[in-house]
């Protein structure tokens, strides 16, 4: 191509762009849906009776490459139960100043307590507000759920509990009477790692 046509070719690129459909989104007035597997903010899930799935094991914190998660475990007692099993997450924080939304914490969680939502509007101009607490991260109570602490209400044994919670009827499923629940945790061995993964 002759040298003098170089600028013309350059302007040609500019003109072609001028007539292409603009991909600008008028955010925040217009919000596009994310892809289903988009990594948004986290959520701490519940069992269908409202108990928390988090057992305070800290595996998510150890898996996090950005050191963004802080967990303190607490002991459940027959009179004050927050999760099925022996332990629950008494303190749970995610620091969104550090989090890179990689999802490794979700992969590490043995009970599927921790998942990621499609919500991406987590920006803030306060450092304090970007440290999300357990109360902010916990999934809301759905119909049929009860605010912990309370006994396990899905079936008479722990096996019943986990199989109903994983594959039984959805939220709002029938509640068992308190006296049927296994409160001393002796049947914990019945629990299969990964129970509950079906309702991810
Ligand atoms: S998404 Fe990644 S960076 Fe964020 S808390 Fe989980 S493991 Fe850490
Ligand atoms: S969210 Fe999962 S991995 Fe993290 S402490 Fe709770 S149970 Fe353990």
One-letter-per-residue 3-state SS of the chain: CCHHHHHHHHHHHHHHHHCCCCCCCCCCCCCCCCCCCCCCCEEECECCCCCECCCCCCHHHHHCCCCCEEEEEEECECCECCCCCCEEEEEEEEECCCCCCCCHHHHHCCCCCEEECCCCCCCCCCCHHHEEEHHHHECCCCCCCCCCCCCCCCCCCHHHHHHHHHHCCCCCCCCCCHHHCCCCCCCHHHCCCCCCHHHC
User: Ligand 2: which of 107, 109, 112 to mutate, most ligand atoms within 8 Å of CB?
Assistant: 109
- The residues near 78 (Cβ < 8 Å, ≥ 6 apart) are 151, 183, 184
Give me the pLDDT at residue 1, please. Answer: 74
Query: Is any atom of ligand 1 closer than 6 Å to the C-beta of 101?
Result: yes
**pLDDT above 90: residue 134:** yes
Query: Is any atom of ligand 2 closer than 6 Å to the C-beta of 108?
Result: yes
For the segment 7-31, the average pLDDT, to the nearest whole number, is: 90
Q: What percent of the chain has pLDDT over 90?
A: 66
For the segment 132-146, the average pLDDT, to the nearest whole number, is: 97
Give me the pLDDT at residue 175, please. Answer: 39
The alpha carbon of 34 and the centre of ligand 2 are apart by a number of angstroms equal to 26
The alpha carbon of 101 and the centre of ligand 1 are apart by a number of angstroms equal to 5
For the segment 21-46, the average pLDDT, to the nearest whole number, is: 94
Give me the pLDDT at residue 164, please. Answer: 83
Query: Is any atom of ligand 2 closer than 6 Å to the C-beta of 113?
Result: yes
Give me the pLDDT at residue 133, please. Answer: 98
For residue 97, name the pLDDT band (cuts at 50, 70, 90): very high
Mean pLDDT of the chain: 85
The alpha carbon of 21 and the centre of ligand 2 are apart by a number of angstroms equal to 45
Give me the pLDDT at residue 100, please. Answer: 97
Selected residue with higher pLDDT from 179 and 2:
2
**pLDDT above 80: residue 190:** no
Domains and CATH numbers, the chain: 42-195 (3.30.70.3270)
Residue pointed to by tokens 């108990």: 51
Residue whose CA lies nearest to ligand 2 atom number 6: 54
Residue whose CA lies nearest to ligand 1 atom number 2: 102
For residue 118, name the pLDDT band (cuts at 50, 70, 90): very high
Give me the pLDDT at residue 156, please. Answer: 86
Residue whose CA lies nearest to ligand 2 atom number 8: 57
Q: What percent of the chain has pLDDT over 70?
A: 83
Give me the pLDDT at residue 172, please. Answer: 37
For residue 167, name the pLDDT band (cuts at 50, 70, 90): low
How is residue 132 written in tokens?
Answer: 């999300």
For residue 187, name the pLDDT band (cuts at 50, 70, 90): very low
């Amino acid at each position: 191509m002759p040298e003098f046509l170089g600028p013309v070719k350059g302007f040609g690129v500019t003109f072609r762009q001028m007539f292409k459909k603009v991909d600008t989104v008028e955010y925040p007035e217009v919000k596009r849906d994310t892809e289903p597997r988009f990594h948004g903010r986290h959520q701490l899930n519940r069992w269908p009776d409202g108990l928390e799935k988090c057992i305070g094991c800290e595996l998510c914190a150890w898996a996090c490459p950005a050191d963004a998660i802080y967990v303190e475990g607490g002991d459940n007692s027959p009179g004050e139960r927050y999760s099925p099993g022996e332990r629950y997450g008494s303190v749970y924080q995610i620091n969104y100043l550090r989090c890179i939304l990689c999802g490794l914490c979700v992969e590490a969680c043995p009970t599927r307590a921790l998942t990621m939502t499609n919500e991406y509007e987590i920006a803030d101009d306060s450092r304090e507000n970007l440290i999300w607490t357990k109360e902010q991260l916990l999934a809301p109570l759905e119909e049929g759920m009860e605010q912990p602490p309370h006994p396990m209400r899905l079936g008479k044994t722990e096996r019943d509990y986990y199989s109903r919670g994983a594959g039984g009827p959805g939220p709002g499923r029938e509640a068992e009477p308190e006296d049927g629940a296994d409160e001393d945790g002796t049947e914990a061995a019945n629990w299969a790692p990964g129970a509950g993964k079906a309702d991810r």
